[in-house]
Chain A
Amino acid sequence: MIVCVAVVGHQNNPLYIQSFTEADDALKLHHIVHCSLDVVDERVNNPKKSGPLLNETFLGLLYPIENFKVYGYLTNTKVKFILVTTDLDVKDADVRNFFRRFHAAYVDAVSNPFHVPGKKITSRTFAERVSTIVKSFGLTSAV
């Protein structure tokens, strides 16, 4: 089950953080997302030779913490997407699919002429699309 998704700008400023649990642990999730930014920077600057391709947008599993898993995705414009989930058997293809749809929703939200680059995303349409994507995560069978 996805616990939290976050969009972080290229100066590590938060653009969108949304948690999907009823529990009141927003602060802990913020902290997890914040820690994962360091891991993203490390992955990008010190590529492992045997790891994923140097320039791929999907960074894969960043690190496990407590009972959460954190996945990262870095776009061409240095915007980072962070996904925190409690699922134990997450398929790689599912996460890639999730990030692809999330990226499409993000691009549409940023193309809004009233959106100021660098400020938080306040579009309700974006929030609805994200919750739709989150709800359908893992439900569609991987083809």
Chain B
Amino acid sequence: MVREVSESCLDSLLTEVVSCYCNRFYPNKHDLAARRIEAIGYQVGHQLSERYTMERPRFNDHLEAIKFICKDFWLELFKKHVDNLRTNHRGTFVLQDNKFCWLARMSIDPFADSGKSPEDITSPTAGNKATHAMKMHLYFSCGILRGFLSNLGILCAVSADILTLPTCAYFSLSHTYTEITL
């Protein structure tokens, strides 16, 4: 029996999770809130990895696992593929999504004061606060990726960056202690 939930419910839930953790549970302690959100994502990714790798044979190496994430896993979660994958062949992978679905409905709110001229919108402080707020929304998906990879045995750190809304990129670094780079 498969029960479904509408995508807008999930969008609203994630927005509310970020807002709750940042404003109610850990006000002024954004690092702690980010870590908690990432930990939630970690458990989700852990469980999703069991479900989505069920049908296929085992992965040969890290690159195959990352390619699986870019194609099948992203397709299951967001109904699209990752748009660009780059690697430095030394354990760092960059996955780029040009229209990340959980950021697709966000906009940077220009200041409402009528006295401000348009040039002020691009002032450093305004931009920083907005991107900082948006980055909080990426921690959950970073956690999902980290949980997914760690259940496959690939220990890594995942961080995300917003290039130009709604494009975002995920950086995944592997820490394998016995790796020899050539």
Contacts and interface: CB of A to CB of B under 8 A. Distances in A.
Interface residues of B, number: 16
Contacts of A19: none
Given A107-B50, A107-B51, A117-B46, A77 B151 contact: yes
A74 interface: yes
A11 to B, nearest CB: 11
A13 B51 CA distance: 21
B54 interface: yes
A78 B153 CA distance: 8
B53 A75 contact: yes
Contact of A104 (B54, B57, B58): B54
Contact-size category for A:
20 to 34
Contact of A76 (B43, B46, B47, B152): B152
Contacts of A113: 43, 47
A103 interface: yes
A44 B152 CA distance: 15
A92 interface: no
Contacts of A117: 43, 46, 151
Given A10-B153, A117-B46, A76 B51 contact: no
A132 interface: no
Contacts of B51: 107, 111
A131 interface: no
A86 interface: no
A104 B56 CA distance: 13
Given A104-B54, A107-B51, A111-B51, A77 B152 contact: yes
A110 B151 CA distance: 12
Contacts of A53: 57
16 contacts: A10-B153, A54-B60, A55-B59, A55-B60, A56-B57, A56-B58, A75-B54, A75-B58, A76-B49, A76-B54, A76-B57, A76-B59, A77-B153, A107-B54, A111-B51, A117-B151
Interface of A: 10, 53-57, 74-79, 103-104, 106-107, 110-111, 113, 117
Give 3 nearest A-B pairs by CB, closest first.
Answer: A76-B53, A55-B57, A55-B58
